[in-house]
Amino acid sequence: MELLSNLALGFQNALSLTNLAYAFMGCFLGTLIGVLPGLGPLATISMLLPLTYALPPDAALIMLAGIYYGAQYGGSTTAILVNLPGESSSVVTALDGFQMARQGRAGVALSTAAIGSFFAGCVSTLAIAMLASTLAEFAFEFGPKEYFSLMILGLLLATVLSTGPVLESIAMVVLGAMVSLVGTDVNTGEQRFTFGLTQLYDGVDFVVLAMAIFGFAEIVRNLRTDPEDRSLVTQRITNLFPSREDWKRMAAPILRGSIVGTMFGVLPGGGAALASFAAYTLEKKVSGTPEKFGNGAIEGVAGPESANNAAAQTSFVPLLTLGLPSNAVMALIVGAMMIHDIQPGPQVMTSNPNLFWGLIASMWVGNLILVLLNLPLVGLWVKLLTIPYRFLYPAILMFCCIGIYSLKNDTFEIYQAALMCVAGYVMLQLKLPPAPLLLGLVLGPQVEENFRRAMLLSRGDATVFFTSPLSATLLAIAAAALIFMLLPAVRSKREKALQE
């Protein structure tokens, strides 16, 4: 009964005209950036973070969440019609979705993706609602030493499960944590690594770094990439409704994909891309006709599309309940919460229940909006792909610079972003994963704060992290995961899988 009353409170907030408008805006923008290759939820949310200053907290988070899971829908449209995945999580969908389109079944493939995503979104949102209260109650048992161990575990899992090399990912996390040290020490008031620049007394701005590395650097890289040949499906899309045989073949994959995505989304570093690959592999294993995969199998669309949308939404579970971002997009959401003086973690549920349950309820609303947006407007999304990139990037850069300047009305922030853009571009060229850098920057201050608080309470005794059973267990899991992933046999298999 408590769950129903909480959801009723959430829907009351999510269905207000203001929040409905921002949910629609987020879903529309998410679909748009999912359709346009070269952008993505990470870059787009980075660019839009300055705008959230002027929005109410619940409206800002509802819009940013809509952008994230809306991008999964948009990415599947271009993967099916153009064989050009707008999102990394839609790469698998292109394998069978584009073949279905070439066989004249583009409408059925699009409907399968939309139905699977909608069902998975509903399942994952229900999972969030059911898990949230339990995990939040558990989180209240955490003290400084437990939170420090949890942050270390989260950072390590996010790196070992990510798509980059393990050692490079860990190095980027450490670099991000080191960047977070710049500024005024909150305990002593000393200036750290500011080089006498008063603009750095408050530290490196999270928004500036995110926009530079994930916005500017990506744009520069895309400018150097030759335009891909796009074999567009030119015939008119008809017959959107699947046949009875299609329903039979896609029902079980949608259910399995929803379960796989829900589990992978909760894992730090899991995310939508990893979930879609796992769901595709599972469907191929359980299928009686695995040779059909890659040649237009509807199961190859239903499973991955369900998984990526479920994972995108359950990524909010560790963020909302433990204050632990599971991927780079969730780290940006943490930044948006901090802009509005909201500390991520279990206290959000008790101190701001309208925001907490309103965000969860908005995901149901958003999934319905996305179905209504994606199927009727397929023609519009495909036409957007004909816009030359040389017209898009100047507008994107201009809005980014305006957003950066508006943070503090200081041109130093733009110069800082330009310098970070160079660093971000070098990282991309050296194939260093930038996402762990962002996670290190966001979680670095929390790791430092909880470490120092635990050491103060224990009077400098470092063994305090191992005397607490919960803290010791979390650190043991982190160490075991790291050792396991560094084993030569495991590393070689992991690199081979990532190349595939």
The answer to whether residue 438 scores a pLDDT higher than 80 is no
Short-list 487, 170, 181, 154, CA closest to 344 = 154
Give the C-alpha separation, 286 to 358, whole Å: 38
Residue 360 CA to its chain's centroid (Å): 16
The answer to whether residue 129 scores a pLDDT higher than 70 is yes
The answer to whether residue 226 scores a pLDDT higher than 60 is no
Vertex 47, ends 43 and 48: CA angle to 5°?
Answer: 120
The answer to whether residue 67 scores a pLDDT higher than 60 is yes
Instruction: Give the model's confidence band at 87: pLDDT under 50 very low, under 70 low, under 90 confident, else very high.
Output: low
The answer to whether residue 498 scores a pLDDT higher than 60 is no
Distances (CA, A) of 52 to 24, 208, 326: 16, 14, 21
Query: Rounded to 5 degrees, what are φ and ψ at 385?
Result: -70, -15
The answer to whether residue 362 scores a pLDDT higher than 50 is yes
- What does the pLDDT look like over 414-434, one tens digit per residue? 888 888 888 888 888 888 877
Reduced to 3 states, what is the DSSP secondary structure of residue 8?
helix
The answer to whether residue 310 scores a pLDDT higher than 60 is yes
Give the C-alpha separation, 160 to 250, whole Å: 32
Reduced to 3 states, what is the DSSP secondary structure of residue 183?
strand
Dihedral (CA of 44, 45, 46, 51) sign:
positive
Give the C-alpha separation, 80 to 83, whole Å: 6
What's the token pair of residue 457? Answer: 């309470």
Residue bearing the bigger pLDDT, 78 or 191: 191
- What does the pLDDT look like over 455-478, one tens digit per residue? 888 888 888 888 888 888 888 888
Reduced to 3 states, what is the DSSP secondary structure of residue 234?
coil
User: Are 148 and 447 in contact, with CB atoms under 8 Å apart?
Assistant: yes
Residue bearing the bigger pLDDT, 448 or 83: 448
CB atoms within 10 A of CB 220: 17
Averaged over 278-294, what is the pLDDT? Answer: 81
Residue bearing the bigger pLDDT, 133 or 178: 178
Residue 134 CA to its chain's centroid (Å): 23
- What does the pLDDT look like over 255-282, one tens digit per residue? 998 988 888 777 665 567 678 877 888 8
The answer to whether residue 437 scores a pLDDT higher than 60 is yes
- What does the pLDDT look like over 184-193, one tens digit per residue? 887 777 888 8
Q: What is the pLDDT of residue 231?
A: 46
Distances (CA, A) of 423 to 12, 230, 295, 431: 45, 31, 42, 12
User: Are 301 and 97 in contact, with CB atoms under 8 Å apart?
Assistant: yes
Residue 319 CA to its chain's centroid (Å): 11
Instruction: Give the model's confidence band at 24: pLDDT under 50 very low, under 70 low, under 90 confident, else very high.
Output: very high
Give the C-alpha separation, 417 to 420, whole Å: 5
Specify the length of the chain in residues: 500
Q: What percent of the chain has pLDDT over 70?
A: 83
Short-list 38, 64, 67, 34, CA closest to 50 = 64
Q: What is the pLDDT of residue 232?
A: 47
Give the C-alpha separation, 428 to 434, whole Å: 8
Adjacent-strand bridge partners of 494:
none
Q: What is the pLDDT of residue 90?
A: 72
Residue bearing the bigger pLDDT, 5 or 254: 254
Contacts of 219-225 spanning 24+ positions with Cβ under 8 A: 219/38, 219/393, 219/396, 219/397, 220/421, 220/425, 221/425, 221/428, 221/429, 222/38, 222/389, 222/393, 223/389, 223/393
Going through 227-297 in order, the beta strands assigned E by DSSP cover none
Averaged over 379-383, what is the pLDDT? Answer: 66
Q: Out of 43-52, 54-63, 141-150, 430-439, which region has the weakest mean confidence (pLDDT)?
A: 43-52
- What does the pLDDT look like over 142-181, one tens digit per residue? 788 888 888 888 777 767 656 567 778 888 888 888 888 8
Q: What is the pLDDT of residue 468?
A: 84
User: Are 317 and 265 in contact, with CB atoms under 8 Å apart?
Assistant: yes
Residue bearing the bigger pLDDT, 155 or 136: 155
The answer to whether residue 494 scores a pLDDT higher than 80 is no
Q: Out of 36-50, 366-380, 444-458, which region has the weakest mean confidence (pLDDT)?
A: 36-50
Amino acid at 340: H
The answer to whether residue 41 scores a pLDDT higher than 50 is yes
Q: What is the pLDDT of residue 230?
A: 45
Q: What percent of the chain has pLDDT over 90?
A: 2
Distances (CA, A) of 78 to 58, 175, 240: 31, 36, 16
- What does the pLDDT look like over 384-396, one tens digit per residue? 666 666 776 777 7
Q: What is the pLDDT of residue 229?
A: 44
Residues in Cβ contact with 65 at an 8 Å cutoff, skipping those fewer than 6 apart: 26, 316, 333, 359, 362, 363, 366
User: Are 165 and 495 in contact, with CB atoms under 8 Å apart?
Assistant: yes
User: Are 295 and 99 in contact, with CB atoms under 8 Å apart?
Assistant: yes
CB atoms within 10 A of CB 185: 12
Could you tell me the residue range of the domain that residue 152 belongs to? 2-499
Residue bearing the bigger pLDDT, 481 or 382: 481
Cα dihedral value 63, 64, 70, 74, nearest 10: 110
What's the token pair of residue 302? Answer: 């239903």
Structural domain tally of the chain? 1
DSSP designation for 215: I
